[in-house]
Amino acid sequence: MKDLIKQLMQLQDIDSRILEKRLFIDKVPLRIFEVDEPLKQARAELEKITQKTEALGKKKKDKERLLEEINEKIKKMKSRISDIKTNKEYQAHLKEIESSEREIGGIEEEILLIMEDLDAVVREHKEKERIVRSEGDKIDAFKKKLDLEVSAYEKELSVLKEERVSLASLITPDIYRTYMTLLGSGNGVAVTKAKGEICLGCNMNMPPQLFVEVRKNEEIIQCPQCQRILYYEEEQ
């Protein structure tokens, strides 16, 4: 195999690895954003439950205040009994007290129901808090793992870039330019294998005579379809 073909293959290998690592690093914010979604949702649900708890607490307090007012009213009514002169007035007064006491019974029942709701909501609140904590822990662990991977990749990238500079200096400028153009137009693949008269870059057939030339690995031969530089490798 001619050195030039070998160098182009090595350059492609380095560029593919650089591209893969860059892609990984570029995708990190998106991956964090995606992983963040369950935590955001859990926080929103916790907020909703908090509001529900507060609303129920306020409702309970309002009912309790009302209860106090009616109790106060009953106490006053009872204290006035001795002032009542006629039986008719007395009966009416008793009726009023009874109706207020019935009202109290109703309110007490309402308070019990509110307390049951509150119990359920408080339990739910605790559960949502637990979910928020565990989702937070999960994201922290994920971010830590990503940070380690990114710094390892960045180190590898700087080594690869150095290798690339010395390798690229061996290739003549016009061939290097062609390579770079193909790298851009070929989605990161400028040099590709030919296997059984097929270009593995675009999966198209090539003329048999061209494949014979490619097999020699002696000069730069481009795929007639995708223009990528072709090389041949003996099957293991």
Instruction: Tell me, by CB under 5 A, how many residues bind Zn ion.
Output: 6
Here's the x/- map for Zn ion, 38-77, by CB under 5 A: it reads as: ----------------------------------------
CB closer to Zn ion, 56 vs 230: 230
Residue of 58, 96, 54 lying closest to 77 (CA atoms): 96
CB of 13 to Zn ion, least distance (A): 18
Residue of 184, 178, 203 lying closest to 192 (CA atoms): 203
Rounded-to-integer distance, Cα 173 and Cα 182, Å = 14
Q: Is residue 182 part of the contact set for Zn ion (CB under 5 A)?
A: no
CB of 44 to Zn ion, least distance (A): 50
- Residues linked to residue 194 through DSSP beta bridges, in sequence order: 199
Task: Tell me the H-state helices in the chain.
Answer: 3-79, 87-168, 173-185, 208-216
Rounded-to-integer distance, Cα 188 and Cα 161, Å = 16
Rounded-to-integer distance, Cα 195 and Cα 212, Å = 11
Considering only residues 185-224, where is the footprint of Zn ion by CB under 5 A?
A: 199, 201-202, 223
CB of 223 to Zn ion, least distance (A): 3
CB of 190 to Zn ion, least distance (A): 11
Residues that bind Zn ion (CB under 5 A): 199, 201-202, 223, 225-226
